[in-house]
A and B are shown apart, each in its own frame.
Chain A
Amino acid sequence: MAALVQGVRGALAISSCLLRATLPRATIVGLQQKGIHTNLCGVTPSAALLRSRNESKVAAQRWMASNPGVKPTVVEIKDRVLRVCKDFDKVHAEKLTLETHFLNDLGLDSLDHVEIIMAMEDEFGFEIPDGDAERLLRPADIVRYVADKEDIYE
């Protein structure tokens, strides 16, 4: 039993980074909506991983299931994307429109682009795989991608 737990922990450790990314969002949502108390600090990583994996899945599903009607419109998505881009301190707000290219127009490099995509993942609450992420080079692309993922049609 102990060996099984250890093996699982070892396997989960590499993916723990991605997992822990979903953790705070799910637990914050859980706290706000259902008043579930989850103890994030001071818990050993392995126990937190095994327990939180189930919790984050359940809590994430609850978020979408309990508010089925609340879906952002395309205008809202545009606002959120632009706001996240403006908050990024390496971006000059006056040059930012929906069509500015991150690498060419704003002069960011690929690591900055990765950070922006991560900020979008945190904002909208779903994972963006690498193959898709490297094609999202303008805010307009990101808006279209999020709208496709969330099934929002104008």
Chain B
Amino acid sequence: MASREAVRAAVRQVRPILSADKGEARKRVLNLYKAWYRQIPYVVMDYDIPKSVEQCREKLRQEFEKHRHVTDIRVIDMLVVKGQMELKETVEIWKQKGHVMNYFKETEEPKPTDFLSKFLAGHE
């Protein structure tokens, strides 16, 4: 009983990754959004991708909305760090057109609906 209390107290305080509180984490997220938003016209120009600036901005908004529900500050920091890494690679043109177009590709295969696709997939 006492050990459980001690564990709970120890787990409540964790070392922060970047931000100490929600306000700071929020600032980092909004700054990342701003940086990406401003970079998008140059991405479209440099990589010559077949998407318009509006479509890219929509995709940016979708990517941020994917993690809207996250509340853990360390997870938010980690996502911001990963986003910043992606931004750096995109700005410096270390990526190539395919890497940028990956954002527009769905990562999950849609489930088969018609008979033949289900048969070939094994009647899942």
Cα separation A41 to B44 with both chains bound (whole Å): 12
Cα separation A47 to B34 with both chains bound (whole Å): 24
Count of chain B residues near A, Cβ 8 A: 21
B65's nearest neighbour on chain A, judged by CB, is A111
Cross-chain contact A111 with B33 (CB below 8 angstroms): yes
Cross-chain contact A18 with B38 (CB below 8 angstroms): yes
Which stretch in B3-11, B71-79, B87-95 binds the other chain? B87-95
A86 within 8 A of B: no
Complex interface residues of chain B between 23 and 40 (CB less than 8 A to chain A): 26-27, 30-31, 33-39
B116 within 8 A of A: no
Count of chain A residues near B, Cβ 8 A: 15
Interface residues of B (CB under 8 A from A): 26-27, 30-31, 33-39, 42, 45-46, 61, 64, 87-88, 91-93
Given contacts A17-B38, A110-B30, A118-B38, 12 further A-B contacts (CB under 8 A): A14-B88, A17-B87, A17-B91, A18-B38, A20-B39, A21-B38, A45-B91, A45-B93, A110-B26, A118-B37, A130-B30, A130-B31
